């Protein structure tokens, strides 16, 4: 068993100021394309006002509740110093995080039943870049 | 040095609605069982209303303060849309995160003196699944 | 392509109670020293009242806004039980996280244009330890 890299990159066009975009299909495609039967899948978003998280893939109102909840925690308007007017997005992204490390088993992502992978847009709409590195085993 | 996978899975029975369960012993056991002297240990919880974090392993009141602090930030009751009544748990889990990547050195986990690994239950009591992948070196 | 470990450790002297210290130069140095042209770079901070995050490397007022924002979310003074008086720091560190997993491509870190890597001090000033593990490919 050896370490082989498979790096991919995909972009996500967000359409709202705050939005959670389900990127699970893109990640599954990257895993499938790699041919890896088992291993690890690393994701990283190349921005500072968008993040990556995992959450429920069934009821879309969960996404609304997460975005609304984050807005209550870190309001868009507050006494921020940064003049670009997106300080809340920087804080939200740091809270959510920029990376994920997922398991690959039997040729597909090992996710819980209700787990989907989301790009969290906090300062959109924008085009966002996500890089994927797949480390196959065997 | 080659990449060898060792995957394990363990379950955690939580006993309260909100709870931090010290899973460090289970992770150490997985590392020991793997025989790895150095490498990486990846953890992932297969849920959307529970998370993984690292925090103080000494005074249990730190865990209480963390859970209370998260409850102040994301109250159980608010104007959520998701009808299952656990939107706060989804938000808390996204804030805490679902994965950890830890170092293995000299046959054991490389943790700081006060670091323990915790499963954070936000919608319990439930049985939770944690998967562990150990990547030994050498 | 084989898995080879390169572990390094560096310390960060923080100078304020709350502070974001740009550790990108130290991480780049570790990557350069490893000679890896591609691979992964794992970071872990060995504490429970300091964290690691990624955020904007240009306008320092973003760091101020993030620290102020976290202080609004998790105030230094509240009804905490832990007697050391740093419960807010424990909570903030759990929100921010303790690890990062970064990509190495073409001999350097694959970061977004505006991304810097920060140690987040929440209970300083102190000397903090960060461990780095570089997994080169090829």
- Judge whether residue B111 has pLDDT over 80: yes
Scanning chain C, the segments in alpha helix (DSSP H) are 24-34, 61-73, 87-96
Chain A residues closer than 8 Å to B94 by CB = 53-55, 66, 96
Order of strands, sheet of A19-22, starting from the edge strand that comes earlier in the sequence: A19-22, A115-121, A50-56
- The yes-or-no verdict on residue A1 having pLDDT over 50 is no
CA B1 to CA C4: how far, in whole Å? Answer: 6
- Cβ-based neighbour number of residue A33 at 10 Å: 12
**pLDDT score of A2:** 39
**Residue B83 DSSP class:** T
**The residue to which tokens 């007017």 are assigned:** A85
pLDDT at res. A137: 82
**What number is the ipTM of this complex?**
0.95
Domain boundaries, given as residue ranges, for chain C = 6-136
B interface mutation test: which of A5, A58, A66 has the most B CBs within 10 A?
A: A66
Per-residue pLDDT tens over the stretch A50-98: 999 999 999 999 999 999 999 999 999 999 999 899 999 999 999 999 9
**Fold held by B6-136:** Jelly Rolls (2.60.120)
> Cα-flanking dihedrals φ and ψ of residue B70, to 5°?
-65, -35
Q: Do A5 and C111 touch (CB under 8 A)?
A: no
Shortest Cα distance from B120 to chain C (angstroms)?
11
Average pLDDT, integer, range A106-120: 96
Chain C positions touching B54 (Cβ under 8 A) are: 48, 94, 98
* b (16+ CB within 10 A) / e for C54-77: bbbbebebbbbbbbbbbeebbebe
Phi–psi pair at B120, nearest 5 degrees: -105, 110
- Which C positions 34-63 lie with beta carbon below 8 A of chain A? 38-40, 53-56, 59, 61-62
Chain A touched by B64 (CB under 8 Å): no
A3, A91, A99 ranked by CB distance to C1: nearest: A3
| A103: chain B residues, CB-CB within 8 Å | 7, 42, 44, 131, 133
Structure-token match 């350069």, residue found: C32
Q: How many angstroms separate the first and last alpha carbons of chain A?
A: 4
């Amino acid at each position: 068993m050896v370490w082989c890299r498979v790096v991919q990159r995909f972009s996500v066009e967000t359409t709202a100021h705050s939005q959670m975009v389900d990127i699970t299909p893109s990640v599954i495609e990257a895993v499938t394309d790699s041919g890896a039967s088992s291993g690890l899948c690393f994701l990283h978003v190349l921005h500072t006002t968008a993040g990556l998280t995992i959450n429920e893939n069934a009821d879309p109102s969960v996404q609304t509740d997460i975005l609304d909840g984050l807005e209550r925690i870190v309001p868009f308007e507050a006494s921020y110093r940064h003049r670009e007017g997106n300080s809340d997005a920087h804080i939200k992204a740091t809270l959510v995080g920029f990376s994920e490390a997922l398991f690959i088993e039997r040729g597909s992502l090992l996710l819980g039943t209700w787990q989907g992978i989301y790009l969290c847009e906090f300062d959109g709409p924008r085009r966002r870049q996500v890089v994927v590195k797949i480390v196959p085993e065997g």
